[in-house]
Structure 1
Amino acid sequence: MSGDSSGAWRDGHTNLRRFRWSSPPVRIALVFQARESKASREQGRLDANTSKEARRRHLCLNLVPSRWEMMYELGALTDGRLWQAADSIFRAAPGCAFWAASRDTRSDAAGTRRARRFHQLVDESHARFATSPPGPPGG
Structure 2
Amino acid sequence: MLLLLFYLGDQLYAIDSLRVVEVIPRVNVRKLYQAPDYVAGLFNYRGRVIPVIDLSLLIQGKPCSLCLSTRIIIVQYPGKPEQRDYLGLMAEQVTDTLNKSSVEEPESVRGNIIMDGHRIIELLCVESLFPEIEQLRVLYSY
Instruction: Please tell me the TM-score bracket, short chain as reference.
Output: under 0.3
Q: Which structure's residues are more often helix, by fraction?
A: 1
> Normalized against structure 1, the TM-score is what?
0.25
TM-score by length of 2: 0.24
